[in-house]
Every structure is written in C-alpha cells, then in structure tokens.
Amino acid sequence: MNRFRRVAHVLAAGVLAVLGVAVAPTASAQPQPLNYQVKVTGADPMNAQDGDPLRITISGLPAGATANYSVCPLPLRDSLLKPGPWTPNPSVEARVTAYCKNFNDELSGTEFKPPGHDVGRSATTHDVVFDIYVPRGARTPAIIPFDPDFTAFPQGALKWPNNPDHKQYSFSCDENHPCTMMLRIGVPATATSPAQTVFDSSITFRASAPGLKIKGCAGVGASTLTGSMPERFGRTAVGWNQMLCAPTKAAQPVNIVNESEDVGLTSFDKGESDVQVTGSGGTLATQQVRARSYIPAALNATVLAAVGWAPTDRRDDGGALNSRLADNLKFDWDDLANLLSKGGLSPDSTGRGGIFVDGSALVRRNPALAAVSGAENALRSPNTRAGQFTTDFFGVTGEIGTSTVPLVLSSRLNGMPAWTYGTFVDIRNAKLRGSDGPVGVVTDLNALNLGDGGVHNVDAKTGQVNVRKQVVNAALGTGNECTNGCLNWVVTDLATATENGWAPVALPNGKGGYVAPTPKSLQAAAAHAQPAEDGSIRIVPGGDPEAYPLTYVESLTAPLNPLVDASCQPQAAKQAQLATFVKAAVSGGQDSLGPGLVPLTPELLSAAQTAAAKVGTGTAEASCHEHKEAQNPGAAATGGPGAAVGGTPASDGLGGPLARSGSNGPGAAEAAALAMKAPTQASVQEARSVAAAVKVPLFPGADVLGALIPLLALVALVLLPPTTGYLTAGKPLPAWLNRLAERLVAMRRRA
C-alpha cells in the first residue's frame, strides 16, 4: 500500500504541475500586494491594425522580478474542473494555461509567440519591457481536457463531460472581438515575503486588418478625386482627408489608390488619376504629356532600417538581456554599398562584402552589432547579424516596384568603388551578366539581384504588408534564433520605418561623423533644395554635416489645366475640390502629416504655395488635347525609369527622366506573374500554417494522454528502483506491478 500511496502522490503532484496550479502561502507568510505600473506606448491598443508596434513597460517591481505575456480572450473562460473531485477550478493561472496559447497572427501567417522564458527586470532601468506588435487572428482549435464543453473524455464513469460532438476550443481577436494581453508577473521570495505570481489583464486591444481607413466621412462622392500614391504616403493622405471631411461628415476629397510611382505617374498622365504623389518629380515617369505642377508637400528620406534585438542590457542577476534595437547604428558608404551588392550567401566570408564578420570595421564601430552572436554557437554570429536564419530569406528586404527610395540611394552610391556587384554565377556556373561590374543607378530594388534568384542582394516583396511579414520574427524577437540577438534589414523610407518602429542607421556626414534621419537633419538638408528641369524640387547633397544625405521632397503632382469630363466639359465641382485639397496640403496639412514625414521649411512652403496656385490655370481645350494625346503618346513624350546595369545614367537620376537602359530583373508586373507560377515564401509559409493547424489525434483522448506523459515518466522513476531490486534478486514481480505493466503495454499497442 505504501507504493500505491507513493504513486498517487507523484500523480497528484504531476497533475498540479501540468495544470499550473499555484500553492497558496500559509497565513503567516501572506505576500504584500504588489505596487507596480503598466504603461502602453506606440499604437492605441483599442484602435490598432494588425502589426502596429506596441511597447509595454512594467515599472515599480522589486529586484529579481520577471514577467511574460499571453493573448487571452475577453472575457477569460471560467469552466475548468479540478481533476479528482471534479469541482470548479477558478484559478487564473490554470485558465491562462488552458485557454491562452497557440494564437495565430494573420499578418505573419505564424504563431504569435510569447518569450520562451520569463523576461527579467532590467538592472539599468528597473523595468520589464516588451516591444511587440498588436496581433489579429485566432487560436488554433484544441481540446481542453478539463473543460466539460471541450474535453475529449467520454461520458460514462465520468458524468461531467459534455462534448459528444468533439468540439475544439478557439477564440478570435479582431475589430469585433477585443482581447487582452495578459501579463504574468513573478516576484521572488524575500526574507519577509514569499514568492508570488500576479496576473494583470489591464491591456485590452482590438486589431483590424492592415489598410487605409478614412473615418468620420461620408465615403466617395460625385466630386471625390482619384489620387495615385505610393503606400508610404497613405497615412498622410488619410489624415488630410479626415481633416477636410470629418468635421462636416462630407464626402472624402480623395479616393486613395496605392500604386508604384511609375504606374501612378502614367495614371495621372492619362487622366485616370487627378492627383499623384512622387518623391522625384518626373524622373520615374514613362510618359509626360499632361502639363503639371509639382507641389512640395513633405520631407522624407531613403533609409536602411535595422529590425531586431541585441543583448545590450543586463538582468538583476547579471545575465544578458535582449533589448529592441532603437539606437542608430553607424554605417559607412562602403558598408551600405557592400550590403546591397555582394550577395546574401555566406556572410561569414565574402557575402555582404564581409561587413558582418567579427572584427570588421562595421562591427567594431557598433557595440550593439558586436554583442549579437549566433543562437547555437559564436561561429554563426555573422549570419545572425546579417539576418540569415533560414534558407529562404537572407536578411535584407524592401518593396518591389519603381520608387524614389532606390533611386535616391543608388544615385548617392553611384561611382563609388564599393558600389560594384560581387561575382555571381547561375545554376550552370556561367557568370551572370553584370557580375563584377558597376551597379549604377537603379529604380527598383529587385534589379539588384541581376535577374537571378540565387543572388539575394535584396529579397524584395510586393507591398508593405509583405515586407512586414518578411521581418516579423526579428521584429517580435521571441524565437530561438533571437536568443543572443537577431537582426533583419529593410531598405525603405523614413515614414515607413517610423510607422513600423524600425531603427534607421546613421550615415557619414562628410566631416568624420554620422548623421541620423531626424526632423532636424531632414530640414537641414532641405536648405540645399534646388529646382529641377521639370519644375520639381530636388535636394542636392552638399557638405553640411547636419544634413541627412538621402533626404528628398514628397510632392503632389497636379494638373495645370482644368479637370474635364469625357466630353471635354469642365468639372467645376471636382476642380474646386482639387484646389481645396492642394491648398490644405500646403497649409494646415503640414500639421497632419503621417509618422516620419517632416514638415516643409518656410522656404519650401513658400515654393509649394506658389506651385499650388498654378493648378487649374490653363484651358479646358488644352486639357482635352492632352487627354487624347496621352492615350497614345509620341516618342518625344516618353521617358522612363531605368534599372541600370552599370555605368553612369543620362542624368544623376534626380533632375529629369532617365533614359531606359534595360532591366536586370522583373518589374512589379513581371514579379506578380512569376509569383503565380512558382511557390513563394509567403505561400509556403501559409501552407505550413494550415498544416500546423490540422492535427489528427492518434486515438480518442490522445491529447490528454500527451499531457500526462510527463506524469507517466514520474511514475516510471518511482517504480524503477523497486522493480530493478526485484529482478536483481531473482524474485517475481508483485501481481499489482505486473497488472500495471500489462495495461501500459496494451495502451501503447492501441496507440
């Protein structure tokens, strides 16, 4: 009987461990209530979109405190039973353990994983900080063993099961189903107080799908304009719309159409769009028939953004603590050129030009980079710094499509010795065209791969959502690959980087120092603005050490001639709407810019107001003539963006249309077509997510048995010593032990 008691005690202790039930302290050692504060910054949790950055800061905790988080439904279900007596089990810890796990995020297409281990308090700030994002999605359906409505136990000897249809538990978090970011806070024991665990459900969130949503207006009306613009300008366009129509709940002034700049400029030229946004005047236009005014609207900049974590902090116990990378890493021009031209393979040798190897100038210059090492061993440190965690993504990404972003960057690097392609061969070991040659000026990041899928200079994606998906693991930082820090890199613009919480690097200022993209440094660069031949404003890099060197001007492209309908009759209402919109952009709209965009300087604002006054000052006859000619423009009216193989383009890339010099890779349309023919990383990941969500149990109750396997192991440990003693002594095993062994073998055979 003693052995039965021993087995029973082990089983009872194991069940408590599986369920996460805490043992209450004795009356003489009751803990004092914790006095702490929870602060949320970044997105508004109740008005967020999937992927919006969110920082949770827990302050006021004692030394040695730890915390973690889980996505939980609201309200948290309270239907668990205690094994044995089968009485209600209201324990918050048991309920969180049972219901709040395996939550799948729609944006990433993967599980939204909390840290694998509790996060310790920072010895520096005395806070526990979680840099995460607002998720949207649903929990993977699962059996809840001790919930009557979702159990796998059949009715019979047990009266409480109530799941004849074998339902599985799940919950959703979206704009219609708020959830909580449940915090689990642990405090170690002290001489005067026992250890304690507190659950905090104060953070409630709603998350809609990513996208542009104009609130408070009456939707599209008869006089609503069509605006073609790149995604980076979307939040500003939403803000301007709401500024004009929300106070009176009028129709929105502009219907936003997200298009790459070359496509948007063509739409504008043909009259399919009434207004367009570009950062480089007519440089990216494939045709220019329609007379236009480029109206400066905001300052933006091309940036290389670092996404990830570095072990630059310490816990109270002295152990390493990962922190979200927020400081501006310092890159030389050669570092930037090598990153984007020497290939993504083998960053531990010649890949990325060797900039991430131990002891490189870049690593020595940046302590945060030096602190990052391989999750498994230090030999993987260069790969981790470069962002190569898998065989389908090599660490650097950005948006596919013709854009000012690569144009400004490559124009600045053009002619530098390091801005030269590495040595690349195809699958037949033949040298790729352009290999070892100068990169030149490019207008599409995809062109940097020389048309070959094995180069991986930039693994660009179509649209901002897909770029965010590409770097989501490094952004969250909770996977095994981020144990000792992890990084990804995004070639993008300051507005997009700011919106997503990515950290732009600082670049040389020409005086031996480095300058980061900030409102101050962008406005300093704007002091060097000059008019281009096409009437737009460009910023000429100079020797100003305070100026960020990749700054550019975002401009509204608006028609000089009046808007007309299909019969060439003036559209007075739409013309008035256009005049209101462009005037608002260069007045009150400067206070409603999206994240990361910087208001114009007084000098640029004056130029913008002058350009805005020219809109619609032409004639309806001229507008009608333009519309007809733009449908089939002559050779003299066409230009086009170039994706240069090498050498120097017809201009510096910023003063007017570039002559088309051929493309080294598919454009956006071709890339979309190719994506339909071959599996992409996104489609493969989606298939993996679907497969992971489908679980076929080995037999009814297998999930429960899986949870109890650790208990059976404990039983084996209890039984092994006496069993070994019997066998060693040559004595037969007791009957009760033989029967138990036979039952276990029978269960194993049925499995």
Closest CA to 402 of 285, 559, 270: 285
Task: For residues 440 and 658, give the distance between their C-alpha atoms in angstroms, rounded to a whole number.
Answer: 12
Packing angle between helix 333-341 and helix 404-413, nearest 10 degrees? 120
Averaged over 304-326, what is the pLDDT? 95
Task: For residues 688 and 25, give the distance between their C-alpha atoms in angstroms, rounded to a whole number.
Answer: 45
Averaged over 64-85, what is the pLDDT? 96
pLDDT band at 268 (very low <50, low <70, confident <90, very high): very high
Task: For residues 657 and 280, give the distance between their C-alpha atoms in angstroms, rounded to a whole number.
Answer: 10
Closest CA to 385 of 404, 368, 410: 368
Task: For residues 331 and 344, give the distance between their C-alpha atoms in angstroms, rounded to a whole number.
Answer: 18
More confident residue, 654 or 686: 654
Task: For residues 664 and 511, give the distance between their C-alpha atoms in angstroms, rounded to a whole number.
Answer: 35
Residues 396-437 have pLDDT tens digits of: 999 999 999 999 999 999 999 999 999 999 888 999 999 999
Task: For residues 304 and 470, give the distance between their C-alpha atoms in angstroms, rounded to a whole number.
Answer: 15
> Which residues, in sequence order, are CB contacts of 384 under 8 Å at separation 6+?
372, 373, 374, 375, 481, 484, 485, 486, 487
Task: For residues 201 and 69, give the distance between their C-alpha atoms in angstroms, rounded to a whole number.
Answer: 10
Integer CA distances (angstroms), 87 to 79, 83, 160, 537, 676, in order? 10, 8, 10, 74, 55
Tokens read off for 132? 């995460």
Is residue 715's pLDDT more than 70? Answer: no
Tokens read off for 328? 């501006």
Produce one character per residue of 667-679: b if its CB has 16 or more CB atoms within 10 Å, e if not: bbeebeeebeeee
**Which amino acid type is present at position 155?**
Q
Other beta carbons within 10 Å of 709: 10
- Helices and strands (H, E) in the chain, number of each type: 20, 27
254-258 vs 225-229, strand pairing mode? parallel
Partners of 531 in beta bridges: 537
Closest CA to 211 of 407, 21, 49: 49
Integer CA distances (angstroms), 509 to 249, 408, 543, 728, in order? 47, 16, 8, 80
Contact 271, 331 (CB under 8 A): no
Contact 56, 130 (CB under 8 A): yes
Contact 410, 653 (CB under 8 A): yes
Contact 295, 227 (CB under 8 A): no
List the beta strands (DSSP E) in 439-569: 486-493, 503-504, 507-508, 514-515, 529-531, 537-539, 551-559
Packing angle between helix 2-19 and helix 92-99, nearest 10 degrees? 70
Q: pTM of the full predicted structure?
A: 0.80
Task: For residues 390 and 200, give the distance between their C-alpha atoms in angstroms, rounded to a whole number.
Answer: 36
Contact 479, 367 (CB under 8 A): no
**Which amino acid type is present at position 511?**
K
Residues 97-151 have pLDDT tens digits of: 999 999 999 988 999 999 999 999 999 999 999 999 999 999 999 999 999 999 9
Other beta carbons within 10 Å of 367: 12
Residues 474-483 have pLDDT tens digits of: 999 998 889 9
Produce one character per residue of 156-177: b if its CB has 16 or more CB atoms within 10 Å, e if not: eeeeebebeeeeebbbebbeee
Residue 50, SS3 per DSSP:
coil
pLDDT at 638: 53
Tokens read off for 133? 């994002």
- Give the chain's radius of gyration (CA, Å): 31
Report percent pLDDT > 70 for the chain: 80
- The secondary structure of 377-441 as a DSSP string is -GGGHHHHHHT--SSS--SEEEB-SS-HHHHHHHHHHTT-TT-B----B-TTSPBPTTTTSB---
pLDDT at 661: 30
Task: For residues 289 and 638, give the distance between their C-alpha atoms in angstroms, rounded to a whole number.
Answer: 8
- Sign, CA dihedral 335-337-338-343, equals positive
Cis peptide before 75 (omega within 30 of 0): yes
Tokens read off for 437? 């040659």
Is residue 584's pLDDT more than 80? Answer: yes
CA atoms within 13 A on the CB side of 159: 3
Residue 472, SS3 per DSSP:
helix
Task: For residues 246 and 219, give the distance between their C-alpha atoms in angstroms, rounded to a whole number.
Answer: 10
Average pLDDT, the chain: 84
Task: For residues 19 and 733, give the distance between their C-alpha atoms in angstroms, rounded to a whole number.
Answer: 33
Is residue 89's pLDDT more than 60? Answer: yes
**Which amino acid type is present at position 465?**
V
Residues 491-525 have pLDDT tens digits of: 999 999 999 999 999 999 999 999 999 999 999 99
Report all structural domains of the chain as residue ranges with CATH numbers, in order of start: 34-208 (no CATH), 225-298+529-536+550-675 (3.40.190.10), 302-527 (3.40.190), 702-750 (no CATH)
pLDDT band at 727 (very low <50, low <70, confident <90, very high): very low
Averaged over 334-357, what is the pLDDT? 96
pLDDT at 555: 98
pLDDT at 376: 67
Is residue 652's pLDDT more than 70? Answer: no
pLDDT band at 689 (very low <50, low <70, confident <90, very high): very low
Q: Which helix (H) or strand (E) element contains residue 225?
A: strand 225-229
- Cα-flanking dihedrals φ and ψ of residue 605, to 5°? -65, -40
Contact 526, 539 (CB under 8 A): yes
Tokens read off for 285? 């236009």
Report percent pLDDT > 90 for the chain: 73
Residues 164-190 have pLDDT tens digits of: 999 999 999 999 999 999 999 999 998
Residue written as token pair 């999605």:
137
Is residue 544's pLDDT more than 60? Answer: yes
